[in-house]
Structure 1
Amino acid sequence: MLRLLLLLLSTWTGSAMVRVALMRVPSIRSQLRTQGLLEDFLKDHRPDMFNRRYAQCFPPGTPSLRLRRSSEKIYNFMDAQYYGEISVGTPPQNFSVIFDTGSADLWVPSSYCVSQACAFHRRFKAFESKTFHHDGRSFGIHYGSGHLLGVMGRDTVKIGDMTILNQQFGESVYEPGSAFVTAKFDGVLGLAYQSLAEILGNPVFDNMLAQKIVDQPVFSFYLSRRTRTSNPQGELLLGGIDEAMYNGSINWLPVSAKRYWQVEMDSVVVQGGSSFCPIGCHAIIDTGTSLIGGPTRDVLRLQQLIGATPTNNGEFVIDCTRLSSLPRITFILGGKEYTLTSEQYVRKEPFGISDLCFSGFQAFDIISPEGPMWILGDVFLTEYYSIFDRGLDRIGLAQARHPIE
Structure 2
Amino acid sequence: MKLLVLLGLVAVSDSIVNIPLTRVKIMRKTCSEKNMLNNFLKKHAYRLYQTSSPGSNIATHSLRNFQDMIYVGNITIGTPPQGFQVVFDTGSSDLWVPSIFCTSPNFYEYKHLLPDHLSLPLPPSSHVMFRHNESSTYRHTNKTFSIKYCSGRMKGFVGRDTVRIGDLVSTDQPFGLSVEQSGFEGLPFDGVLGLNYPNLSVTGCIPIFDNLKNHGVISEPVFAFYLSKSKPEGSVVMFGGVDKSYYQGVLNWVPLIQAGDWRVHMDRISMEGQTVACYGGCEALVDTGESSILGPRRLVDKILRLLGAKPQGSEHYVSCSAVNTLPSIDFTINGINYPLPAQAYTIKDSSGVCYINLEADPESTSTETWIVGVVFLRQYFLVYDRGNDRIGLALAV
TM, length-normalised to structure 1: 0.81
Residues 380 and 160 of structure 1, relative CA distance in 2, 3 Å threshold: same
Once the two structures are superposed, residues 26-74 of structure 1 have per-residue CA deviations (whole angstroms, 9 ceiling, x without a partner) of: 4563443xxxxx43x34x99959947864268xxxxxx634x43xxxxx
Distance 1:340 1:323, change over 3 A: same
* In 2, Cα distance between equivalents of 1:287 and 1:398: 16
SS in 1 for 2:177: strand
Cα RMSD after superposing both structures: 2.8
Which one-letter code corresponds to 2:353 in the other structure?
Answer: L
Give the match's secondary structure for 2:353.
Answer: strand
Structure 1 position 223, deviation (Å): 0.4
CA distance in 2, matches of 1:374, 1:320: 26
Matches within 5 A, 1:122-141: 122-141=128-147
Q: Once the two structures are superposed, what CA deviation does each residue of 1:140-163 show, in whole Å capped at 9, x if it has no partner?
A: 122344221211111110111111
Q: What secondary structure does 1:175 align onto? A: strand
Matches within 5 A, 1:5-404: 16=14, 18-19=17-18, 24-26=23-25, 29-32=28-31, 38-39=32-33, 41-42=34-35, 50=42, 54-55=46-47, 65-66=51-52, 68-69=53-54, 80-114=69-103, 119-177=125-183, 180-228=184-232, 231-232=233-234, 234-312=235-313, 314-351=314-351, 355-364=352-361, 368=365, 371-401=367-397
Change (3 A) 1:244 1:333: same
Q: Is the 8 A contact 1:139 1:150 kept in 2?
A: yes
Give distance in 2, aligned partners of 1:45 and 1:21. Answer: 25
Alpha-carbon displacement from aligned partner over 1:126-148 (angstroms, at most 9, x marks no partner)? 12222211111222122344221
Give the deviation of 1:123 after TM superposition. Answer: 1.1
For 2:71, the aligned partner's letter is Y
* Structure 2 counterpart SS, 1:214: coil
Change (3 A) 1:338 1:52: closer
- Secondary structure of 2:158's partner? strand
**Partner SS for 1:55:** helix
- Distance in 2 (alpha carbons) for counterparts of 1:28 and 1:144: 21
> Any conservation in 2 of the 1:28–1:182 contact (CA below 8 Å)?
no
- Identity score, percent: 39
How far did 1:368 drift?
Answer: 4.7
Q: Distance in 2 between matches of 1:214 and 1:256?
A: 25
**C-alpha distance in 2, partners of 1:319/1:15?**
50
2:107 counterpart residue number: none
CA distance 1:391–1:274, change in 2 (3 Å): closer
Residue deviations 1:242-285 (CA, integer Å, cap 9, x gap): 11111111100011133431111011001152431121111001
The answer as to whether partners of 1:107 and 1:171 remain within 8 angstroms in 2 is: yes
Change (3 A) 1:118 1:143: farther
* Equivalent residue letter for 2:244: E
Q: How many residue pairs are counted as aligned between the two chains?
A: 358
Distance in 1 (CA, whole Å) between partners of 2:124 and 2:170 is: 25
Counterpart AA for 1:222: Y
Measure how far apart 1:319 and its partner are: 1.2
Per the alignment, do residues 266 and 22 of structure 1 end up closer, same or farther by CA in structure 2, a change over 3 Å counting? farther
Amino acid at match of 1:189: L
Aligned mates of 1:386, 1:168 — CA distance in 2:
27
User: Helix, strand or coil for the counterpart of 2:264?
Assistant: strand
Tell me how far apart the structure 1 counterparts of residues 46 and 161 of structure 2 sit (CA, whole Å): 28
Runs of 5+ consecutive residues of structure 1 not aligned to the other structure: 1-12, 33-37, 58-63, 70-76
Q: Counterparts of 1:257 and 1:172 in 2: how far apart (Å)?
A: 31
- Provide the C-alpha distance between the structure 1 equivalents of 2:324 and 2:124, rounded to a whole number of angstroms: 43
Partner SS, residue 258 of structure 1: coil
Q: Distance in 1 between matches of 2:238 and 2:267?
A: 28
SS of 1:182 mapped into structure 2: coil
Deviation at 1:291, TM superposition (A): 0.2
CA deviations 1:359-395 (Å, max 9, x no partner) are: 11111265556x2111110000000000001111110
Residue 268 of structure 2 contacts residue 275 of structure 2 at CA under 8 Å; is this kept in 1? no
